[in-house]
Amino acid sequence: MSPNEDVSSKLSALLSQVDDATRTNELSKAAALLREASQLAPQDEDIKRRWVSLQQREAGNSESLTTIRTYVESREEDARKNAIQALSKKQLTAVEASEAFDLLLGSSSGLPSLDEVLSTLLSRQIEVRRLVAKKITTSATEAFEQLSPCGDESFRAFTGLLFDKSLWPTKDAQETAQQDLFRLCIASLIDAGVERPDRLMKAVARQLAVQPENVVSLIDDDVFDIVLSELDIRHDNSLRSQAMVAMSRLLEVSKEDGEKLFANFVANHVGKKTNDDLIMAFSAASSVFPVLPAVASRLFLTEGFVQGLIPHLERNSEAAASGKKKSKSLEQAALELLSAACVDKSCRELIRKHCSEWLLSVSEERNGVQEALAALVLAKINEDSVDKVTDKLSGLVMGGENERDQAVEGLAYTSLQPKVKEKIASNNALLTELIAVLKDRPTAAFGALTVLSNLTAYRKPQSEESKRMSQLKAYANSSKPAPEDPLDDDQRVTARCKIILDKAVVPALVSRCKQSTSPAIIALVVRILLSLAKEQKHRAAMAQQGATRLLLQIIERTSQTDKSTSEASLIERTASHALARLLISINPTHIFTSGLPATSAVSSLIPLLTTDHTNDPTPNPTERDLLPTFETLLALTNLASMSDSTAAADLLTRSATPQIEDLLFSTHPLIQRATVELLCNLMAHPSGVSLFVLPDSADATRRLHILFALTTSGDLGTRRAAGGALAMLTEWDLAQDAVVSAPEGKGVKAVLALCADEESEEVRHRGFVCLSNLVQGPGGNGEKAVKVVRELKGQEVLTGAIKRARNPEVLRVGVEVMKVLVEM
C-alpha cells in the first residue's frame, strides 16, 4: 500500500469513528478523533464539516434533530408537525443528517405519517440527499430495499435524487445510479407479489420522461413485456395509468425498435390463443391507439387480425350459452380495443364489416360494462344508430354503476351530434346525473365534462372569406356545402346553456377542480364556463355560484406551470376570456374585496389585450378573433369604474400602456371605441392622466395628439368617449396647459370640433365641458385658453352649438362658457 493510500485509509477509519462517537453523544471523544484526523489532512473538507457540526452540537444547535427524536419517541401529531417545520427551515449538518436518517429508518413501521416526515427530510435536507446518493453509489440494492417500503412521497423523493446532478461527482456516476434503480424497479415489477407496483411503474415512467437517454440502452423486449403486461384491464387503474405513461415514453424514445417490440408483444400473445394472453394483447393494443394511432392501426389492419378476433369472441359467447364459464374480461378488453380503433377511418370500416353482428348481440344480450362498450362502438361505426344508442347509454348512466364510466364516455361521443345534444338537454334526470358525476365519480368526470362541453359549445362564427373558401372547396369536390344544423344555432345553444346553468353546474365544476389538476379536465371546465358566460343574462348567476373566483384560481394555478405547451397557454387564455365576459356585466364591488383585490383580475386580463392571440391559430391575420380583446376592454372599463380602483388603474397603466396605445389604432371601430372608453374611465386616476400629460414626455404628447384626432372619428361612440376623456382630462391644471399649448391650436380645435358635432348632443355637451374647464382654468391657463378660442373663432362655433341645444344642462354649460368668452 502506498503512503497516500495508507493516509486515506486511516482518515476514513477515523471519520467513521467520529461519526459513531457523535451519534452516541460522546462529544469529547469525537473531538479528540477529529484532532488526530486534522493532523493527517488539515485541509480536508469532510473534517472541516465535522468540526462545524461538533461545535454546533456542543452549543446545543440541534433543534431539528431534537424534534425528530421527540416525534419518534412520542408518536404525537404535534411532534410530527414540529419535525416537518424544523426540517423545512434549518439545514442539518452531515453528522446530524446521518443520525436523523437512521432515526427515521429505524423507527417502527407504525409511526404515524412517517412518509411525510421522511419525504421532507429527503427533499429539503442537502446533507441527507448527499448521504443517500452515496448509499446508492455504494449499494443501490440496499438503498432501494431500505426506502421502497416507506411510502409514496418518500419513494418519489428518493428516486428524484437521481436527477439532481449536484449530488453526483460525475455524469457517469449519475447515469450508473439511474440505470441501477431502473433495473431494480423493473426487476421488482416481475414479482407477482410486489406491493404497490404502481409506485414502481411511476418511477420507471418518470425516468423515461426526465432523462431517458441514460436508460435507453436498457430497453429491450423484457422491459416492453413488463410494461405492456401492466396495461391489463384486470389491474387497478392506478397501475394502468402509470403503465400507460411509461408505455408512451417507451415508444417515444425507442422509435422503430419500440414499434417492433410492441407489435411482437401483441402478435405473440394473440398467437397463444388463451384468454389471459388475448386480454393482455387487446389491453396493450387499445392503450397504444390514443398515443400512436398510426402504429396501432397498422397492427389492427394486418390481414387476419380482426378476422381472427371474432371467432375467439364468439367461442367465448358460446361457452356462456352452453353453461360454461365465460370470460367477461376478454369481452371487455376486445370491446375497448374496438372502441379505441374507431379513431382510424379504415379501422372503423373493418369493424363495421366484420364485427357489427357480434357487437349488436353484445349490446342486446349483455348488461353492465360490456353493454355500454358495445353500444359505444356501434355509435362510432354507424351514425344511423345514434338515437337508439344514446337512449341505451342514457339509461346506463342513470341506472348503472360499474358500467357508468363507459356509458358516459359513449355519450361524450354521441353528443357531438346536434340532435343528441337536444335530447340530452331535455332529459332532466340524465343531466342531473351527469353533473353529479363531476362531484363524486372521478373516473367518469372527463366524459361528463366532454358531454357538457359539447352541449354548450357555440358554432364558431365564419367570416365572409371563410364562407367563400368553404363554397370553393365544395365546388372543387363537386358537392354542395353541408347546410348548418339549426339545432346548433346560437339561440338553441343559449337555451341549453340556461338549462345546464340552472342545474347548478358551476358548484360542480368548482368541486371537480378542487379534486383534479389534470390539464385535460381544466381545459374542459374553462371551455364550458366561457360558453355559459356568452349570454349576458347568465353572468350574475355564474358569479353567485362561484365562477369568478374559480376562474381566478385556475389562472393563478396555470401561471405557475410551464406555459410552453399549447394546452397550458390555451387554458389560461380561455379562462381569462371567460373572466372578462363575467366582469363586463357584474358589479365588481360585489366580487372584489381586500382579500380578493381587483388587481388579480387586471393582471389576468392584460394578456388578452394583445390581438394576435387566438384559440384557433390561423396564418391569415384577417381571420383573427378579436372578440376576446373587445370583451377584455369592456371588462377593464368596468373595473376602472370602481370607486376604489386606483390600484387596478395603476397596474393597468403600468403594465399595459403599449397594448392600449396599439389598440387606439385598430381598424375595427368597436375595438377602437372600447379602448377610448377604457381611457375615459382611467382619467379618474392620476396614473391615467399621466399617460397624456407628463412634463417633458414625448410619449404623453403623442398620446394626447392621438386623443385629439379621435374627437373627429367617424364613429359616434368613439367621438363620445374621446370627448368624455378630454372633459375629465381638462379638469387637471397640467392638462389644460397641454391642450391649449398644442401646436397649431390642435387641442382647442379638437374641443371646438366636439362642440360643433352635427350628430349628437352628448358629444356637444362634452365639448362644452372641455371649454368650460379650459377658459376657467386657474392662473394664466384660463386667459390663455380664451385667447386661443377667440383666435380660432370659437365664439361662432359655440353660438351655433348653443342654438341647437335641447337639454337644459347642456344649454347652461354653453351659456356659462359664452359669458366667460365675452366678459374676459
Percentage above 90 pLDDT, the chain: 44
Q: What is the pLDDT of residue 21?
A: 81
Using a CB cutoff of 8 Å and minimum separation of 24, what contacts does 566-569 make? 567/519, 567/520, 567/523, 568/519
Average of per-residue pLDDT across 211-233? 92
- The one-character DSSP state at 125 is -
Q: What is the pLDDT of residues 432-467, one digit of tens each?
A: 999 999 988 888 899 999 999 999 999 987 655 555
**What is the rounded distance in angstroms from the CA atom of residue 784 to the CA atom of residue 778?**
10
CA dihedral 656, 662, 664, 665 (to 10 degrees): 180
Q: What is the pLDDT of residues 582-615, one digit of tens each?
A: 999 999 888 888 788 888 999 999 999 986 554 4
**What is the rounded distance in angstroms from the CA atom of residue 505 to the CA atom of residue 434?**
10
Candidate from 45-54, 64-73, 585-594 with smallest mean pLDDT: 45-54
Q: What is the pLDDT of residue 596?
A: 84
Packed helices 746-755 and 698-710: angle between N→C axes, nearest 10 degrees: 30
By the 8 A CB rule, do 284 and 261 touch? Answer: no
**What is the rounded distance in angstroms from the CA atom of residue 387 to the CA atom of residue 383?**
9
Q: What is the pLDDT of residue 322?
A: 58
By the 8 A CB rule, do 327 and 279 touch? Answer: yes
Residue 478 has pLDDT above 70, yes or no: no
- The one-character DSSP state at 233 is T
Percentage above 70 pLDDT, the chain: 91
537: number of Cβ within 10 Å: 10
**What is the rounded distance in angstroms from the CA atom of residue 11 to the CA atom of residue 42?**
11
Q: What is the pLDDT of residues 23-48, one digit of tens each?
A: 777 777 887 888 788 888 888 888 88
**What is the rounded distance in angstroms from the CA atom of residue 813 to the CA atom of residue 410?**
68
Q: What is the pLDDT of residue 425?
A: 95
**What is the rounded distance in angstroms from the CA atom of residue 234 to the CA atom of residue 333?**
9
Q: pLDDT tier at 616 (50, 70, 90 boundaries)? A: very low
- Cell 341549453 sits on residue: 496
Q: pLDDT tier at 59 (50, 70, 90 boundaries)? A: low
CA distances from 89 to 154, 156, 469, 619 (A): 19, 21, 63, 52
Candidate from 54-63, 604-613, 778-787 with smallest mean pLDDT: 54-63
Candidate from 216-220, 247-251, 326-330 with smallest mean pLDDT: 326-330
What residue type is assigned to position 497 of the chain? C
By the 8 A CB rule, do 766 and 720 touch? Answer: yes
Question: What is the average pLDDT score of the chain?
Answer: 86
**What is the rounded distance in angstroms from the CA atom of residue 112 to the CA atom of residue 115?**
8
Q: What is the pLDDT of residues 619-665, one digit of tens each?
A: 444 445 789 999 999 999 999 988 777 888 899 999 999 999 999 99
Average of per-residue pLDDT across 743-766? 92
**What is the rounded distance in angstroms from the CA atom of residue 641 to the CA atom of residue 638?**
5
Average of per-residue pLDDT across 455-482? 66
Average of per-residue pLDDT across 663-673? 93
Residue 505 has pLDDT above 70, yes or no: yes
Average of per-residue pLDDT across 215-238? 91
What residue type is assigned to position 731 of the chain? E
Candidate from 6-15, 516-525, 536-545 with smallest mean pLDDT: 6-15
Residue 476 has pLDDT above 70, yes or no: no
Q: What is the pLDDT of residue 748?
A: 92
Residue 292 has pLDDT above 60, yes or no: yes
- Cell 358566460 sits on residue: 533
Q: pLDDT tier at 149 (50, 70, 90 boundaries)? A: confident
**What is the rounded distance in angstroms from the CA atom of residue 494 to the CA atom of residue 31?**
80
Which of these, 269, 354, 344, 367, lies nearest to 304 by C-alpha position?
A: 354
What residue type is assigned to position 572 of the chain? E
Q: Look at the pTM and tell me if it is higher than 0.85.
A: no
Q: Compare 779 and 300 and report the one with higher pLDDT.
A: 300
Which of these, 425, 491, 432, 414, lies nearest to 455 by C-alpha position?
A: 425
Average of per-residue pLDDT across 241-249? 89
Given its phi and psi angles, is residue 76 left (phi above 0), alpha (psi -120 to 50 degrees) or beta? Answer: beta
Of the CA atoms within 13 Å of residue 233, those in its CB half-sphere come to 23
Element (H, E) at 718: helix 716-729
- The one-character DSSP state at 217 is G
Q: Compare 248 and 367 and report the one with higher pLDDT.
A: 248
**What is the rounded distance in angstroms from the CA atom of residue 393 to the CA atom of residue 405?**
10
Per-residue HEC secondary structure of 376-437 comes to: HHHHHHCHHHHHHHHHHHHHHHHHCCCCHHHHHHHHHHHCCCHHHHHHHHCCHHHHHHHHHH
**What is the rounded distance in angstroms from the CA atom of residue 631 to the CA atom of residue 609?**
10
**What is the rounded distance in angstroms from the CA atom of residue 574 to the CA atom of residue 526?**
6
Q: Which domains does the chain have, with CATH numbers?
A: 692-824 (1.25.10.10)
Per DSSP, the residues of 445-500 read HHHHHHHHHHHHPPPPP--HHHHHHHHHHHHHTTSPPPPPPGGGSHHHHHHHHHHH
Which of these, 578, 490, 492, lies nearest to 542 by C-alpha position?
A: 578
Q: What is the pLDDT of residues 369-391, one digit of tens each?
A: 888 888 888 888 887 778 888 88
Which of these, 313, 325, 309, 326, lies nearest to 361 by C-alpha position?
A: 313
By the 8 A CB rule, do 723 and 770 touch? Answer: yes
- Cell 372584489 sits on residue: 592
**What is the rounded distance in angstroms from the CA atom of residue 96 to the CA atom of residue 63?**
10
Q: pLDDT tier at 558 (50, 70, 90 boundaries)? A: confident
Cell numbers found for residue 14: 477515523
